[in-house]
Chains A and B, each alone.
Chain A
Amino acid sequence: MFQRTLPSLFAATPASWMKVMVGVKRVVDYTVRVRVKGNRIQSEGLKMSVNPFDEIAIEEAIQLKEKKLVGEVIAVTVGNKKAEEVLRTAMALGCDKAIHIVTPEGEAEGLEPLAVAKIFQKLHEEIKPDLWILGKQAVDSDFGTTPQLLAGLLDIPQGTFASKVEVSDGKVRVTREIDTGHQIVELHLPCVIAADLRLNTPRFPKLPNIMKARKKLIDSRDVSSLGVDIRPRLVREAVMEPPPRKAGVKVKSVEELYDKLHNEAKVI
């Protein structure tokens, strides 16, 4: 409440009251290898974690807050009941508030990026954040589309594959990782940032903060309350494991390696 009324009084320093929303997804831990059985991805019982790119997004938002460029960081997740745990982690790391859009149980990867982006669009209209920081991709479905879809739906600029973010005077300067090196773009607020690996090194939550985060309130809403059509556009016709490569050989010496590559594989 307080924060909503203040900017008009202190119009000269609106940047210090910036509001940031970070998207967080609960995914199968990146170190775990999933298996496919009976045309289903076997993700039950596997170790789950915060999507690694989202940890980087959270860290960036917290750092902006520590630099007093941001007043409030709100973490949001779209997922089943268990997804609450990633919001607890986000709050233990320093996010001020958390919103959980609760979806029915089901496939591990949850809703499609388009549905998630539409949910975020609704939240944007309600909360009016200045900045969204999302991970550049979720390591389960590997789509890498939610930030761009959100920016497109809201018709606001996007800074994808960000390795550096500088906020000043209502603008964000984003250094992006592109195929040939780096690119710097300047975006008007509000905008959407998609965090790449090199943006920062996420911190670990401290135990007292983990305890405190357990008691914090989560704004939990059922997905049906948002009036967003979440029916999937893509039907999974088949899921399989990729064909295994045929077993290779171990060679004993550099000479043998050269011989195999030169005479057998004929690649050098």
Chain B
Amino acid sequence: MLRRTFSVLGGKVLVVAEMHNGNVAPSTLAAVTAGLKVGPVSTLVAGKNAAKTAAALANVKGVECVLVAEGEHYEKGMPEEYAPLIASVVKDGYTHIFAGTSAFGKNVIPRAAAKADAMPITDVTEVKDDATFVRFMYAGNVVCTVKTSDPVKYATIRGTSFERAPTEGGSAEIKEVAATKAGGTSRWIEDAIAATDKPDLQTAVNVIVGGRGLKNAENFKLLNDLAEPLKAAVGATRAVVDAGCCPNEMQIGQTGKTVAPNLYLGCGVSGAIQHVAGMKDSKVIAVINNDADAPFFHVADYGLVEDLFVAVPKLTSMVKK
């Protein structure tokens, strides 16, 4: 059945995989789903001991072939190393080069596109056909359908707009590809990653977000208390990240992360255009704000005008019951 669909589709897709500790990144799984809309999908994994992580990719449903490039210089996802590798692999007749819209994908895909003289299409939310894609502009206020004339199409795929391909049920062939030489013009020094046992913001089923109304970092405890029984991730607006209350990786919005959880609960969030751009595809949006005129009330399915310092603890105790 799948085979037959493929024969109609003219594309040949390469998804540049992002791996974390041997696991496939959720945005990569969304990129596989997007890729299957235009043709058979191969994935590319590179790094030290890449063969090991390739097994996880080979299990992803829908992937036909996993290309593996061994090399320590790929280990940290440096674009200076990835772009030549992608260029060497593309020669095998790939028509579409996809990656998830993540810090990795946004960094690597445009650089690879430059090598191929192609105009990359970022943060694709819909694949219409092999050359036509939908994306947002102006902080999500304009939906634009573009048709590309580039022979090879480079794109990043918005992770919240496509179902994730299942991580089981696949049986892809694993093929080794020759590693490209290390560039040597850039060097990875270190990653400063906050260790956390909390759910990941971009994949959490529920998300609770704090805005300026939280006032300070300590008050985020209120949100963490509510997040725990809900198994929710906690996010933040730009204002509180800028104020130093939260680390940058918690920022949701046009220039931060995009989330689309089942429940988005905003506390003390006004609902600026830039923030709404990162969460408006959430299934249910609830807002608690003591300012009845906050623009967020126009977006929310359920709005409660009340002091969050009263309402949130109350809600927490109700959820716990």
Contact = CB atoms under 8 A, between A and B. Distances in A.
Interface of A: 28, 30-31, 33-34, 36, 41, 53, 109, 112-114, 117, 136-137, 139-145, 148-153, 156-158, 160-161, 163, 173, 176-188, 191, 196-198, 232-242, 245, 248-258, 260-261, 265, 267-268
Contacts of B193: 180-182
A258 B103 contact: no
Contact of B302 (A28, A140, A249): A249
A75 B190 CA distance: 32
B149 A261 contact: no
Contact of B319 (A178, A186, A237, A268): A268
B255 A250 contact: no
B249 interface: yes
B242 A198 contact: yes
Interface string B191-202: 111100000001
Contacts of B62: none
Q: Is the interface of B mostly helix, strand, loop or mixed?
A: mixed
A257 B138 contact: no
B163 interface: no
B53 interface: no
Given A184-B190, A242-B136, A268-B230, A233 B150 contact: yes
Interface string B106-133: 1101111111011111110000000010
Contacts of A241: 141-143
A185 B192 CA distance: 11
A194 to B, nearest CB: 9
B187 A236 contact: no
Given A139-B254, A185-B187, A268-B206, A148 B147 contact: no
Contacts of B140: 242
B248 A198 contact: yes
Nearest to B257: A179
Contacts of A181: 191-194, 247-249
A257 B191 contact: no
B290 interface: no
Interface in B220-262: 230, 238, 241-242, 247-249, 254-255, 257, 262
A265 B280 CA distance: 16
